């Protein structure tokens, strides 16, 4: 439920700058006879406590260090002194005379203990990710997708959900700083104004603004006003994981920048060229929703879409492919050309030298596409070269897909530019000394700019450099002014999703620190009396809606819904620009002629699936989130195909040096089945040096070898040399073979049609009568879950949802390496088939199965895990003594143990994040999934008060709620009409390890794939 109430506008900041000298002085003077009084004073001084926290930070990420040390001398004295001080205070002081006042009048909407939800949005790569934020008594605790918004429909990506952790990041910049000294916003705005005045005289010739991609109509309007006021100023944009190739491809094909959106609900045949469209990209959630809807074989459905993927490195999307073809990245132009030629698209000619297997798959895909005119679509991945995008547009047009499965609209970005060129131009201007004032609004170009731009060197030629940033980063070190950027949950702004729908993002909490938004910084430049971002955004929309009957009603409705109605772009009829086709076709043919020779290594860059371009590097949830397929945490690696690793004579964990044009980076090897031969895939976003306590030094920075000259996404020539060193990667899964066990069950569509209950036949469920004990009786509710393996895309969204909902701790790389990760739900991957280079890949989300005959319950000596009245295996955390017998006896190994006090040493600010409805577990206690029992109980209380039964769908587990593929369904299996009961009656339903007679409440729907029979035969 969303609330139309807008939180009050934030008042003037109250945090004072910290006087370090005075604080040190206080610390110094607290010795000797003044000891007691001094400590009391110190303890009572908020600013001093902040100072202490900064001076003696506790490292959240390196458990290994702190725990191995255990009780360091310093910590001993810290604690000893603190407890002495506390004892002293309790004994000698009177409580301060401060009145607290309870609510005289309960604020409307706020009920203690009842969370509220507000619609808002975050941006990723500039695009809005619509969200609902849950707020407990004024503090946001969890992010979920906005069900009203077409780009979300209630689901959210792992990254979007984890961004709440950044709000409470103790490493955030807390006050404006100038040359690393603490300053105030007022001082900053005065200085900025003065600089702007000087620029005004020059027409802004020395003023430059650097942003990421901007879709915010308000920000764009401010920037345009700025450019009007300073006509010679320039606005540059840069996203390290940007979509330059997509934009350029559209311009090539249509002569203008158009945005491409796919209607996968209408697509019978999808061909993806190195596109991980289900998991990454601005519209992935909606794509996953639509795509999975076409794959869900329930209610007697026997038709499903077919997906062909040609990928250089396996992706979650690739795991869903019905026909997956590994192909080296440099061969994609040839694949596009071949596909066009097979389809008879004018201008496309069959390229020579395409691998025979690939050619056969291309031919089969083309045949399929042709047979489903108007219901086929070709999708190209963001990093693939622009001519391939252009080719896809031409093919889609030839297939009659435009207007059906492909929707072309105006771009969501306010100013689509080639960002690589834009950044290069800025660097050149800076180097030439033409820039006097640079505003870096967000971003971290010193870290993520292509290294051949030598951005940091150029930056130092600018006399005044201002950086708006949420936390000090690599760029901050090169800037005079660093202004804390408000987190999106603290700020007013707006942004467009890919389809153009605008969300006016509202804050849920006043800025925790002195955070400001880009709107406010620009307002200082533009206006004599700078406005708050609330006013900036609201005034913009008031102007936009001039003439509308009731602006306040519009405003409140937009905030409530999390979207501005009618802002989605209309489909734009566009036909490929035939005249320009010759040029890009020539480019395409040229690229197709440059396929890497077998044995010639090429390097392919991808943003990390979890920490993205490095901006989430200080986010422990994401660092510890196992990367899809590789299951690597806290690291990046040089990903190689088994055959390639064999040829090069390297083993997993061997550190190798990748050299491109004389620059190099050294990474450990990871051998990935399904990887295309001769391709080294490397994720960037690692090796941050100024990220914070969590992100510093995690993984390897590959910036040295990521250059504009050699290629930002694909480097054709790379040398790989073993260093002889080893570096252990911490993975959450090490064994990917099923060993002939029927853990994941799958069939082809043809097999499924012939034998819909194939999955059940692979196992043997003992009859109820075989037990000595009578079955338990469940009067009202009996909870159960059904997981559809056919639709699960393995995107990790459920893992983050669970982590946020259930206060699951982060344990760090060393502990993950010791197999002690704490995730209650995990995504298992299994490889199937004889072909190491192209196996079938299965995903399986696995959490506690809530067995009817639970092996864990019997063996717990103290009854800490017991069978609940509604069939759950309930955990009494404070009864657990930690024998770990339950985990040993759990065949699914769904239990997690607190080997250390993983929740100790938390910064106070991080404690605000915890969900108050879930116990934070202490050291030595076993924990596990209980189907979000807190949500069950909340619904039960509501239902009881209203004197009704719980409605089907009223309770949704955190994993279910956020699943973009709707693969997880929870409900009451006692109710035959419940969605989950119906799913459990589906013939595909099976139990994992049913022969053990555990009778799990979680059942799985077997995976069904729809491979092209022509290719199967060969």
Partner 1 sequence: MSTTFDEPRAADPIAQAPVLAPGHSPGTVTEAIAGLVTRKVAKTPKWWLLGFAVSFGLLNVLLFAVTKLFMTGIGVWGNNIPVGWAWDITSFVWWIGIGHAGTLISAILLLLRQSWRNSINRFAEAMTIFAVSCAGMYPILHLGRPWLPYWLLPIPGTLMAWPNFRSPLIWDVFAVSTYATISLVFWYVGMIPDLATLRDHSTSRVARLIYGSAALGWRGSARHWANYEAAALLLAGLSTPLVLSVHSIVSFDFSIGIVPGWHTTVFPPYFVAGAVFAGFAMVLTLVLPLRPLFGLKDFITDRHLQNMAKVMLTTGLIVAYGYGIEAFAAWYSGNPYEWYMMKNRVTGPYALQYGLLLLCNIVVPQLLWIKKVRSNVWALWTIAMVINLGMWLERFVIIVVSLSRDFVPSNWAMFHATRYDVMTFAGTIGLFLTLTFLFVRFLPTLNMYEMRSLTPEAASTPHEE
Q: Which residues bind partner 1 (CB under 8 A)?
A: 67, 70-71, 733-741, 743, 815, 818-820, 826, 828-830, 844, 846, 855, 858-863, 879-885, 887-889, 891-893, 895-901, 922-926, 992-993, 996
Least separation in angstroms between CB 282 and partner 1: 31
- Report the residue number, 754 or 923, with the smaller CB distance to partner 1: 923
In whole angstroms, give the CA distance from residue 557 to residue 280.
30
Q: Work out the burial of residue 531: count CB atoms within 10 Å of its CB; fewer than 13 is exposed, 13-18 middle, 19 or more buried.
A: middle
Nearest to 833 by CA among 1006, 643, 673, 964: 673
- Report the residue number, 295 or 999, with the smaller CB distance to partner 1: 999
Least separation in angstroms between CB 879 and partner 1: 7
Sign of the alpha-carbon dihedral angle for 238, 240, 245, 250? negative
User: Residue 671 forms beta bridges with which residues?
Assistant: 640
User: Residue 832 forms beta bridges with which residues?
Assistant: 840
φ and ψ at 660, to 5 degrees? -130, 115
- Report the residue number, 328 or 829, with the smaller CB distance to partner 1: 829
Sign of the alpha-carbon dihedral angle for 889, 894, 899, 903? negative
Least separation in angstroms between CB 984 and partner 1: 21
- Report the residue number, 75 or 477, with the smaller CB distance to partner 1: 75
Nearest to 959 by CA among 991, 929, 928: 929
In whole angstroms, give the CA distance from residue 88 to residue 75.
19
- Report the residue number, 860 or 1005, with the smaller CB distance to partner 1: 860
Q: Which residue blocks in 409-550 are alpha helix, DSSP H?
A: 419-431, 445-448, 455-459, 518-526, 533-544
Sign of the alpha-carbon dihedral angle for 604, 610, 613, 619? negative
**Which tokens hold the place of 988?**
């595909």
Q: Which residue blocks in 230-283 are alpha helix, DSSP H?
A: 244-254
Least separation in angstroms between CB 715 and partner 1: 34
In whole angstroms, give the CA distance from residue 458 to residue 487.
29
Least separation in angstroms between CB 798 and partner 1: 16
DSSP secondary structure, 730-762, as one string:
EES----B-TT--SS-EEEHHHHHH-TTHHHHT
Least separation in angstroms between CB 891 and partner 1: 4
Parallel/antiparallel/unpaired status of strands 269-273 and 306-311: parallel
Sign of the alpha-carbon dihedral angle for 212, 214, 218, 223? positive
- Report the residue number, 428 or 862, with the smaller CB distance to partner 1: 862
Least separation in angstroms between CB 278 and partner 1: 21
- Report the residue number, 672 or 815, with the smaller CB distance to partner 1: 815
Least separation in angstroms between CB 569 and partner 1: 43
Least separation in angstroms between CB 826 and partner 1: 8
- Report the residue number, 157 or 731, with the smaller CB distance to partner 1: 731
User: Residue 246 forms beta bridges with which residues?
Assistant: none
SS3 sequence, 904-923? CCCCHHHHCCCCCCCCCCCC
- Report the residue number, 455 or 831, with the smaller CB distance to partner 1: 831
In whole angstroms, give the CA distance from residue 48 to residue 512.
17
Nearest to 498 by CA among 547, 427, 568, 602: 568
Least separation in angstroms between CB 737 and partner 1: 6
- Report the residue number, 597 or 735, with the smaller CB distance to partner 1: 735
- Report the residue number, 35 or 877, with the smaller CB distance to partner 1: 877
Angle at 313 between CA 311 and CA 314, to 5 degrees: 85
- Report the residue number, 121 or 880, with the smaller CB distance to partner 1: 880
Least separation in angstroms between CB 836 and partner 1: 17
**Lookup result for tokens 């009578």:** 774
- Report the residue number, 556 or 906, with the smaller CB distance to partner 1: 906
Least separation in angstroms between CB 735 and partner 1: 4
Q: Inter-axis angle of helices 217-229 and 533-544, to 10 degrees?
A: 90
* b/e 91-101 (16+ beta carbons within 10 angstroms → b): eeeeeeeeeee
Least separation in angstroms between CB 925 and partner 1: 6
Q: What is the dihedral of CA 921, 922, 924, 926, to 10 degrees?
A: 0
Least separation in angstroms between CB 620 and partner 1: 18
- Report the residue number, 688 or 921, with the smaller CB distance to partner 1: 921
Nearest to 683 by CA among 726, 648, 637, 642: 637
Q: Is 870 helix (H, G, I), strand (E, B) or coil?
A: coil
- Report the residue number, 181 or 878, with the smaller CB distance to partner 1: 878
Least separation in angstroms between CB 812 and partner 1: 11
């Amino acid at each position: 439920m969303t609330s139309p109430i807008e939180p009050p506008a934030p008042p003037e900041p109250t945090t004072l700058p910290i006087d370090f000298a005075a604080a040190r002085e206080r610390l110094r003077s607290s010795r000797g006879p003044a000891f007691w009084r001094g400590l009391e004073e110190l303890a009572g001084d908020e600013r001093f406590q902040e100072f202490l926290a900064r001076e003696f930070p506790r490292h959240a990420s390196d458990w290994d260090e702190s725990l191995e040390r255990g009780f360091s001398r310093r910590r001993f004295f810290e604690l000893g002194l603190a407890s002495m001080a506390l004892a002293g205070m309790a004994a000698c002081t009177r409580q301060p005379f401060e009145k607290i006042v309870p609510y005289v009048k309960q604020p409307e909407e706020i009920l203690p203990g009842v969370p509220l939800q507000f619609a808002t949005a975050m941006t990723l790569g500039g695009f809005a990710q619509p969200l609902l934020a849950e707020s407990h008594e004024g503090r946001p605790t969890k992010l979920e997708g906005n069900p009203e918004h077409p780009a979300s429909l209630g689901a959210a990506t792992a990254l979007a959900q984890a961004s709440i952790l950044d709000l409470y990041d103790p490493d955030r910049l807390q006050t404006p700083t100038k040359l690393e000294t603490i300053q105030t916003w007022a001082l900053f705005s005065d200085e900025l104004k003065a600089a702007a005045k000087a620029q005004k005289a020059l027409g802004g010739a020395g003023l430059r603004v650097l942003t990421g991609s901007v879709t915010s109509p308000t920000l764009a309007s401010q920037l345009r006003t700025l450019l009007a006021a300073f006509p010679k100023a320039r606005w540059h944009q840069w996203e390290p994981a940007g979509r330059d190739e997509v934009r350029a491809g559209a311009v090539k094909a249509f002569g203008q920048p158009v945005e491409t959106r796919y209607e996968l609900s209408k697509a019978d045949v999808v061909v993806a060229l190195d596109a991980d469209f289900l998991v990454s990209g601005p519209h992935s959630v909606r794509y996953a929703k639509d795509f999975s809807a076409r794959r869900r074989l329930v209610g007697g459905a026997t038709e499903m879409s077919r997906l062909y993927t040609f990928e250089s490195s396996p992706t979650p999307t690739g795991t869903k492919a019905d026909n997956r073809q590994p192909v080296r990245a440099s061969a994609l132009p040839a694949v596009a050309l071949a596909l066009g030629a097979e389809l008879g698209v004018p201008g496309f000619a069959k390229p020579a030298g395409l691998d025979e297997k690939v050619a056969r798959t291309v031919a089969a895909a083309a045949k399929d596409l042709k047979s489903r005119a108007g219901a086929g679509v070709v999708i190209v991945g963001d990093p693939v070269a622009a001519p391939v995008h252009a080719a896809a547009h031409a093919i889609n047009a030839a297939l009659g897909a435009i207007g059906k499965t492909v929707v072309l609209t105006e771009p969501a970005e306010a100013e689509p530019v080639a960002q690589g060129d834009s950044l290069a131009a800025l660097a050149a201007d800076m180097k030439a000394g033409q820039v006097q004032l640079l505003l870096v609004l967000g971003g971290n170009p010193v870290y993520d700019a292509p290294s051949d731009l030598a951005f940091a060197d150029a930056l130092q030629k600018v006399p005044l450099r201002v950086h708006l940033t949420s936390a000090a980063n690599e760029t901050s070190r090169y800037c005079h002014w660093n202004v804390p950027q408000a987190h999106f949950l603290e700020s007013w702004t707006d942004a467009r999703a890919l389809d153009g729908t605008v969300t006016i993002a509202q804050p849920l909490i006043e800025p925790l620190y002195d955070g400001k938004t880009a709107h406010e910084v620009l307002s200082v430049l533009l206006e004599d009396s700078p406005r708050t971002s609330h006013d900036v955004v609201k005034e913009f929309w008031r102007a936009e809606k001039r003439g509308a009957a009731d602006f306040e009603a519009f405003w409140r409705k937009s905030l409530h819904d999390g979207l501005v109605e009618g802002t989605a772009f209309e489909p734009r009829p566009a036909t490929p620009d035939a005249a320009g086709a010759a040029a890009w076709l020539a480019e395409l043919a040229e690229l197709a002629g440059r396929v890497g020779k077998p044995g010639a290594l090429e390097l392919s860059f991808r943003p990390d699936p979890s920490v993205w371009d490095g901006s989430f590097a200080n986010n422990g949830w994401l660092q510890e989130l196992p990367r899809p397929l590789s299951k690597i945490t806290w690291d990046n690696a040089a990903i190689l195909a088994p055959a390639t690793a064999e040829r090069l004579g390297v083993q997993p964990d061997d550190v190798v040096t990748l050299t491109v044009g004389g620059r190099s980076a050294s990474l450990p090897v990871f051998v990935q089945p399904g990887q295309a031969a001769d391709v080294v895939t490397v994720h960037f976003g690692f090796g941050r040096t100024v990220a914070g306590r969590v992100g510093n030094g995690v993984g390897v920075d590959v910036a040295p070898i990521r250059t504009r000259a050699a290629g930002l996404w694909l480097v054709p020539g790379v040398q790989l040399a073993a260093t002889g060193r080893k570096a252990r990667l911490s993975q959450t899964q090490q064994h990917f073979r099923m060993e002939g066990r029927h853990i994941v069950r799958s069939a082809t569509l043809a097999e499924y049609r012939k034998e819909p209950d194939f999955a059940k036949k692979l196992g043997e469920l003992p009859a109820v009568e075989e037990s000595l004990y009578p079955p338990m009786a469940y009067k009202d509710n009996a909870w159960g879950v059904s997981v559809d393996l056919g639709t699960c895309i393995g995107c990790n969204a459920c893992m983050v949802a669970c982590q946020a909902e259930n206060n699951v701790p982060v344990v760090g790389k060393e502990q993950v390496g010791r197999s002690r990760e704490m995730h209650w739900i995990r995504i298992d991957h299994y490889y199937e088939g004889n072909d190491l280079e192209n196996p079938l890949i299965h995903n399986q989300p696995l959490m506690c199965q809530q067995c009817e005959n639970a092996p864990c319950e019997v063996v717990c000596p103290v009854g800490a895990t017991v069978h609940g009245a509604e069939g759950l295996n309930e955990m009494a955390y404070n009864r657990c003594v930690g024998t770990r017998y339950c985990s040993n006896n759990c065949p699914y190994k769904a239990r997690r143990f607190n080997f250390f006090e993983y929740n100790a040493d938390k910064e106070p600010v991080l404690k605000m994040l915890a969900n108050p409805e879930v116990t934070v577990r202490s050291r030595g206690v076993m924990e596990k999934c209980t189907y979000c029992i807190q949500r069950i109980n909340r619904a039960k209380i509501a239902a009881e008060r209203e004197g009704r039964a719980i409605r089907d769908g009223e309770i949704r587990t955190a994993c279910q709620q956020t699943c973009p593929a709707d693969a997880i369904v929870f409900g009451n299996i006692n109710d035959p009409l419940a969605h989950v009961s119906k799913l459990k009656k589906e013939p595909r339903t099976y139990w994992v390890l049913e022969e053990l007679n555990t009778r799990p409440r979680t059942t799985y729907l077997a995976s069904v794939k729809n491979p092209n029979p022509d290719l199967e035969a060969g």
